[in-house]
Amino acid sequence: MDTAPNAPGKLGTPVEVQDAMTYLGLLGAWIQQRRTELDALDATILATPDRAQLTNDMMLSLSVWQAIKNRYDLLLATWDSGRVGPTERARLSALIWGHLDDTLPDSGSPTAGSAAITGLSVSLPEACRLSDALAGQLRGRLNRSPQADQLAGRLRDLRAQVERLRDQAKLEPPATQPALLAQVEDISVRAEDLAGKSDRGGDIGGLLGPLEIRAATMERDLIVGNTKRRQAQDKLARARELLEALQLRETALNDLVTRTVESVTPAPKYAVPNVAALGPVPSSASQLDGYLVKLGSVSKAMQVVQDAYGKALDDRKALTDRLSHEVSTAQQAGVASDADVAALGAVVESFLARRPAPTQVVASLLDAYAAAVRLLAARDQGGQS
């Protein structure tokens, strides 16, 4: 198996049990074979005079392989020898088609495209295709001299890669598709020329490697570009959702501020952030990160406003609750009907009923009411004794 097996299903759709069993078997064999191949390539690199130029690419290939192996181990654990239900089947689909948790670490000084791959989050099938492309690139750069059957196998893999390139190029933006498809067609024509030369007994060992590198590099760039576009689309959708949520929150906060100002005095003096001042969501990927930061800052500012005005309303309610408690205490002490206590309670109720209610004045009056109740209750108890 020279290339990774095709992954079953799609994101969001539970994997069929038979498809999962077949895929895990093929993937395990491919992972083992790819590791054996990478070890052999590594040994060849160590014996190559220009190994310094190939070490970074080798490290990158091993990092991709390790990320794939880690996800495969999670798949096996979820598979649990076939003891899977709907929940496990859905989890298998998410593990296959979701982003790998492991990022691809920096392989050192930048090589051809390594900096572009570093840190990208790709799905398992994309990582497998990356591994195929990178391994093919290493084989080509080492310019190994396999036997005729090995050359035939590499040509077969190259033809399959051309078909993948053609499919991936059709997913690119319309403006770039013609140029990309032209490149794919050129690789296809050259591959067929090499196949014809090989059939005629010609030596294609020195010609196949550079073409493999070209195809592998193009496939890698297409995968990376598609991943970056997907990430930009995710950011754009998140920015639009956050903007809409902040617009709704702004309206609710304005209502809260109005209600608070009408209910209590002194009221907090915070301005509700104007979401419209942020402007529309930018379409440029380079501007999205900064826009998302601004949205986060506005959200934090809104939380400050919400906390302040919400607390002011809560304080007014707490004063109302306290008045009820103090009146109940006076009734239990038998002093609620005292003229002064009753008059003081009426004053507190009068101030609480105002719009806006002066909360500091009410708090002071409540303190006086409570003190009067304690004084009269103590006096009555002293008289009885």
- Work out the burial of residue 8: count CB atoms within 10 Å of its CB; fewer than 13 is exposed, 13-18 middle, 19 or more buried: buried
Q: Where are the domains of the chain?
A: 17-235, 240-312, 314-384
Percent of the chain with pLDDT over 90: 59
pLDDT value of position 263: 94
pTM to 2 decimals? 0.51
The percent of residues in the chain predicted with pLDDT above 70, rounded, is 90
List all residues 6 or more positions away from 322 whose beta carbon is below 8 Å from its beta carbon.
366
Q: Would you give the DSSP letter of residue 10?
A: B
Q: Which helix (H) or strand (E) holds 247?
A: helix 205-263
Supply the angle between the helices 285-333 and 339-353 in degrees, to the nearest 10. 160
Q: Of all residues in the chain, what percent are helix, strand and coil, respectively (each to 5)?
A: 75, 0, 20
Contacts of 177 (CB under 8 A, 6+ apart): 169, 170
One-letter amino acid at 30 equals: W
Q: DSSP label at 278? A: G
Under 8 Å between Cβ of 114 and 60: yes
Q: Is the pLDDT of residue 202 over 80?
A: no
Q: What is the pLDDT of residues 207-264, one digit of tens each?
A: 888 999 999 999 998 988 888 888 888 889 899 999 999 999 999 999 999 999 999 9
Whole-Å CA distances, 261 to 253, 254, 306, 355, 357: 12, 11, 13, 9, 10
Is the N-terminal amide bond of 356 cis, ω within 30° of 0?
A: yes
